[in-house]
Amino acid sequence: MTFLTIGHRGVMGVEPENTLRSYLRAERSGMDVIALDLRLSKDGALVALHDPEVDRTTDGSGAVANLTLAELRGLDAGQGERVPVFDEVLDTVRAPLQASVRDHGTVGALAELLLRRDLTSRVDVASPDATVLAEAARLAPGVRTTLLAHSPADDVVARALGAGASTVSLDVRLLSLETVEAAHAAGLRVVGGRVDTLDLLRLARALGLDGAVTGYPEIRSTGRFTA
The pLDDT tens digits for 137-167 are: 999 999 999 999 988 766 899 999 999 999 9
The pTM score is: 0.95
Q: Please return the burial class of 1, using the count of CB atoms within 10 Å of its CB with bins 0-12, 13-18 and 19+.
A: exposed
> Within the chain, how many helices (H) and strands (E) appear?
9, 9
Cβ count near 219 (within 10 Å) = 25
pLDDT in tens, 195-213: 999 999 999 999 999 999 9
Q: How far is CA 33 from the centre of its chain?
A: 9
**Helices 156-163, 130-139: crossing angle, 10 deg rounding:** 20
Question: Which ranges constitute the DSSP H helices of 101-176?
Answer: 104-116, 130-139, 156-163
Domain 4-37+90-222, CATH homologous superfamily name and number: Phosphatidylinositol (PI) phosphodiesterase (3.20.20.190)
